[in-house]
Structure formats: structure tokens, C-alpha cells
Amino acid sequence: MPNIVDFPLIIRLIPTLLAYLPMTLFITFFSMIFGVLIGLIIALIKLNQIRILSPMATVFVSFIRGTPLLVQLYLSFYGIPVMLRYINYFYDTDYNVNNIPSMLFVLIAFSFNEAAYNSETIRAALQSVNKGQIEAAQSLGMTYRQVLQRIIIPEAFIVALPNFGNTLIGLLKGTSLAFVCSVVEMTARGKILAGFHYRYFEVYISLALIYWALTIIIEQLIKMAEKRLTIPDNDQIPNYRRGKLL
Amino acid sequence: MISVRNLTLYFNQHCILNNLSFDIQKNEIIAIIGASGAGKSSLLRCLNLLEKPQQGRIRIGNQEIDLAHVKRNEIVQFRQQSAMVFQQFNLFQQKNALENVMEGLVVVKKYSPQQAKAIALEKLVEVGLSGRVYHYPKQLSGGQQQRVAIARALAMNPKVLLFDEPTSALDPELVGEVLMSIQQAAKAGNTMILVSHEMQFVYEIATRVLFLDQGQIIEDGTPEQVFHCPVHPRTKVFLSRYFATLSSDYQI
Ligand SMILES: Nc1ncnc2c1ncn2[C@@H]1O[C@H](COP(=O)(O)OP(=O)(O)O)[C@@H](O)[C@H]1O
Ligand SMILES: [Mg+2]
């Protein structure tokens, strides 16, 4: 039988590809963190209808949702050097445009993309928090910031968690586009290997298996987190989460 | 102790509280009664600044504010003078009973967790919930939740306790336990303002009854005066209607 598909290669490629998993996870993790933080800020700006910033946030979210991620990566890759050149020109500074780490373009593009999508999730979650609890916290003499940190965000987080799980999976898969900013993560590494072995199909099968497994792991982790954070209805477990604060 | 002057509250052009002025002495148990929509909740919420009246002055203890020009940090300070118990309990759903009571002590009063825990436990024991300390709100009955809310209010050691229909959302068989906790708080010498439709309870516990009608206090006296010889015709109508529904209940 001719060697149409090199099955053993599929297996052998996996460890080689996994060597670049940390890079994939690094991009995913930090983009998610910044994406949630910036998304929270956007959500708060919109909820509090802060002048000037609120319409800006609306335009930003609409723009991100209305353009492909690939295009956003290119915009970051080519746009940030352009911005630096302008800064050098107007402020008479001397930043080296060729010296920007590629990772920065990637993180900026992914973080803002995440932020735009997360901001809607976060806004809905913040709004879902029962008004009575907020009033109870205020009536104790808590400041808006304290109410937000101690009452609203913890509760909104649980509401938003399933959505965060979905965006996290989307992001993980999205990192495969990072090569356009010349960052080598798993998929980019796979492309190189494919060219080297002349075995394109095998490489992409390996990649597909890895991403699939990662997605299943993330799904399970989110499910576990949800289960852990949801307070059970029955009172058979009174010592549940006991001592968490004490 | 508490003095309210020319308190005026509007909701979109509607006058809800109309130029109210009254004083409350330390240790008084004030009951506010009146028809639904009379402005009772609004009045309590104004004392706690959950509503922002357009005009008037309120003094609680030695903090006085001019409602027309209050600043944000003044509001936060002023809210600590009183503590509110809500009709819907409004417990923090993500925190257990103990954490609910500790929250204000740790965050607002800046007590250490140990100190806060000691006080919170003491208050939970007072309302009879020593066995429910680590339960979450949704694992508690309505009556138990409201008692946690009372413990949370008591723990803040406010100048005045504000109760807004604390038993209206409860199943009838759970009303008693909550009233008992309120009575206990009254006996302990707390100054309280209570909005309630539990007339029998009001009659027994209140030192003074205010009848609120269309945003104005039209009756102010001891429970005996207000219930037995009301001055204002509208009070008479309200009370006779109230007791009529009560006796028809009894006929069933
Ligand atoms: N947030 C609000 N916006 C507009 N109107 C309100 C609001 N809250 C209360 N009201 C109105 O104020 C009046 C008094 O309400 P409330 O103080 O709740 O009365 P009570 O507690 O005596 O039943 C009612 O007519 C009610 O419709
Ligand atoms: Mg009311």
C-alpha cells in the first residue's frame, strides 16, 4: 500500500508541536486577562454613561465586531509602527520602530478584540446583579467602588463565567493567526514543520487534535469552576466553602 | 437625636414627600403606618440617602446634612448613622450568614476579621441563628434570611434602625420569629423606625405612631391616641378599613 498518509508521523509531530504550546497559552492567557480587564472598564464606562468615553466605547466595540480578527492583527502590526513614527515626529522622540517585540502587536490585537466582545458579556452580567443587594451594601456605608468590588463583581463573574469560557476557547483557536505578526506559536511551528517534511495533512491533523484536546480541557475546567462557585440549594452542606473569608 | 426639616422628595415632578419636619428622641420606637403609596418606604430611604431628596435637612446624632448640597463622601458617612432592614431581605447571595453580617464591619468600619467575626457571631446568636452561621441566603427560609438582615443591621451599631415592612414578604407562619427579633432589638434600647402593617405588633411595641398620607404626616401620637382617637378623618378611614379586613378574615 502506498504511503498516502504517514500515520506514525501524526503521532511523532505532536510532542514537537507541543513544545510551542507554552507560546500559545501565553498569548491566550494574557490576552484573556487584559481582555477581561479592558472589557470591564468599557462596560463600566457604558453603564455609567460617562461623557465622551461612552460613545467612543460604542464605536470601538462596533468596529471590532465589524472587522475580521486577521485584519485587526494586520492593523496592529502595521499601525503601531506608524503611530510610533508620528510620535517620534511630533514629540521629537527617538523610539526605534524596528525594535518593537512582535508579541506586543499580537497581545494588543487579541486583548482589544477580546475586550470588545467581553464588554457586552460583562455589561449584561453587571446589570443582572439584583438591585436590592446593591442598595443593602450602599446602606451599610460602602462606597461605589467597594460595592463594585465586593458585591457586584463577584456575583457578575459567576453569571459571566460560561461566556468567558466560550470566548476563551475562541481566543485559543484565534491565536493560530498570530503568525501574521511573525510570532511563532503552535500553528506557525506546524507550518514550518509541514514545509520541512512535505507532509501538510499530517501536521494539520496533529494540530487539530491538540486544539481539540485543549478545548475539551478548558470546557471541563470552566464546568468545574462553575460547579465550585455555585452555591447549592439544599442545606445539607452547611459548611460548604466554610472559612473562605476567615 | 434625629431631626428632619422640610424634607421634600420628588419623582419626576410628582411630590412624594411634602415638606416633612419631625424630631425623634433617643430610644423612641417610631412606627410609620399609612396606605400603600403614601411614601413610607421613600421616607425611610431618604433617611438612609438611598433616595436623594431635592430639599431639606436631616440630622442624625451629630451629623447634619443639607440635602440640596450634599457631597458624595458626606453621603457615605451619613449612611453609617442608620441601618436598614429591607422588605426583600437583600442579603448578599454570594456570602453566607456570617459573611453577610461581617461585611459592613470589615469593609466600612475597618474591623479586623477576628473582631468582625466575634461581633457577627454574637448578633447571629441574638437573632437565634447560631446554627445557621455558614448557610447561604438561598439555603435559609425567608424568616431566617430576614433575621440575618436584622443581625447585619444591629452589628453596625447604628444610631437608628430602619425597618421597611420587614415581614410583608414572609409566609404567615414565619412572621412571628422576625417580629420577635425586632422586639428584642427594641428592648435592647435601640432607636427604631418601623414601617409595618402588623397593627397589633405596632400597637404593642411602638412608643409613637406616625400616620403618613400622600407624603405628609397627618397624625403623630402614642399608639393609644392614634388607634383609638385619631384626629384626622383619613386616619379614621384607613384604620376602619384595616380593621374591617381583619374581622372579615376572622369570620372565615
Ligand atoms: N423610583 C421611583 N420612581 C418613581 N416613583 C416612585 C419611585 N419609588 C416610589 N415611587 C412612587 O412614590 C410613591 C410612594 O412610594 P413608596 O414610598 O414606596 O410608598 P409606600 O412605601 O408607602 O407604599 C408611590 O406613588 C410610588 O409610585
Ligand atoms: Mg413601601
Contacts of B139 in chain A (CB under 8 A): 231-235, 238
Within 8 A by CB and 6+ apart from A168, the residues are A28, A32, A218, A222
Query: Whose Cα sits closest to atom 9 in ligand 1?
Result: B42
Chain B nearest-CA distance from A199, in A, is 53
Within 8 A by CB and 6+ apart from A184, the residues are A20, A23, A192
Task: Give B39 Cα–ligand 1 centroid separation in angstroms.
Answer: 6
User: So what's the architecture of A30-173 in CATH?
Assistant: Orthogonal Bundle (1.10)
Give the whole-number percent of chain A exceeding pLDDT 70. 94
Q: What is the mean pLDDT of residues A205-220?
A: 97
Can you give the pTM of this predicted structure?
Answer: 0.88
Q: In this model, does residue A246 exceed pLDDT 70?
A: no
> What number of other Cβ atoms are within 10 A of residue A100's Cβ?
14
pLDDT in tens, B159-184: 999 999 999 999 999 999 999 999 99
Contacts of B107 in chain A (CB under 8 A): 140, 142, 146, 150
pLDDT in tens, A155-192: 999 999 999 999 999 999 999 999 999 999 999 999 99
Contacts of B84 in chain A (CB under 8 A): 135-136, 139
| 8 Å CB contact of B107 and A158 | no
* Mutation target among B139, B145, B146, B159 for the A interface, most CBs of A within 10 A: B139
CB pairs < 8 Å spanning A and B: 92
Q: What is the pLDDT of residue B248?
A: 55
DSSP designation for A237: -
Q: Which residues of A65-91 are buried (b: 16+ CB within 10 A; e: fewer)?
A: eeeebeebbbbbbeebbeebeeeeeee
For a ligand 1 pocket test, name from B42, B47, B84 the mutation site with the most ligand atoms within 8 angstroms of its C-beta: B42
Q: Domain ranges in chain A?
A: 1-20+184-231, 30-173
DSSP designation for A239: T
Q: In this model, does residue B67 exceed pLDDT 50?
A: yes
d(CA B215, CA B168): 21
Given the C-alpha cell 467597594, which residue does it identify? A146
Q: What is the pLDDT of residue B246?
A: 63
pLDDT in tens, A36-61: 999 999 999 999 999 999 999 999 99
What confidence tier does A93 reach under pLDDT thresholds 50, 70, 90?
confident
**Ligand 1: nearest atom to the Cα of B36:** 23
Q: What is the pLDDT of residue A6?
A: 87
Given the C-alpha cell 436623594, which residue does it identify? B52
Chain A nearest-CA distance from B221, in A, is 29
* Chain B residues 70-89 within an 8 A CB cutoff of chain A: 76-77, 79-80, 82-84, 86, 88-89
Q: In this model, does residue B88 exceed pLDDT 80?
A: yes
Q: What is the mean pLDDT of residues A125-150?
A: 96
Q: Which of A172, A241, A162, A163 has its CA nearest to residue A210?
A: A172
For chain B, say whether A52 makes contact (Cβ under 8 Å): no
Would you say B51 and B45 are in contact if contact means Cβ atoms under 8 Å apart?
yes
For chain A, say whether B161 makes contact (Cβ under 8 Å): no
DSSP designation for B170: S
Q: What is the pLDDT of residue A231?
A: 87
Q: What is the pLDDT of residue A96?
A: 85
Within 8 A by CB and 6+ apart from A187, the residues are A175, A176, A177, A178, A179, A207
| 8 Å CB contact of A133 and B92 | yes
Contacts of B98 in chain A (CB under 8 A): 246
Chain A nearest-CA distance from B108, in A, is 6
Which of A135, A151, A241 minimises the CB distance to B50? A135
What does the block give as the cell for B131? 446554627
Q: In this model, does residue B86 exceed pLDDT 90?
A: yes
How buried is A219 (Cβ within 10 angstroms: 0-12 exposed, 13-18 middle, 19+ buried)? middle
Task: Give B97 Cα–ligand 2 centroid separation in angstroms.
Answer: 25
- What is the average pLDDT value for chain A, to the nearest integer? 92
- Checking ipTM against 0.90, whether it exceeds it is yes
What does the block give as the cell for A108? 494588543
Q: Domain ranges in chain B?
A: 2-250
Give the whole-number percent of chain B exceeding pLDDT 70. 97
d(CA B231, CA B224): 12
Task: Give B114 Cα–ligand 1 centroid separation in angstroms.
Answer: 40
What confidence tier does A2 reach under pLDDT thresholds 50, 70, 90?
confident
* Chain B residues 94-133 within an 8 A CB cutoff of chain A: 94-96, 98-99, 102-104, 107-108, 113, 117, 132
Within 8 A by CB and 6+ apart from B66, the residues are B57
Q: Which residue of B has its CA nearest to A159?
A: B94
Contacts of B102 in chain A (CB under 8 A): 245
Torsion-angle region of B206 (φ positive above 0: left; ψ -120 to 50: alpha; else: beta): beta
3-state DSSP assignment of residue B70: coil
Q: In this model, does residue B249 exceed pLDDT 60?
A: no
Query: Which residues lie with the beta carbon below 6 Å from any ligand 1 atom?
Result: B 11, 16, 34, 36-42
Query: Whose Cα sits closest to atom 21 in ligand 1?
Result: B41
CATH number of B2-250: 3.40.50.300
Contacts of A128 in chain B (CB under 8 A): none
Q: Which residue of A has its CA nearest to B105?
A: A140
* CA dihedral angle for residue A204, residue A208, residue A211, residue A217, rounded to 10 degrees: -150
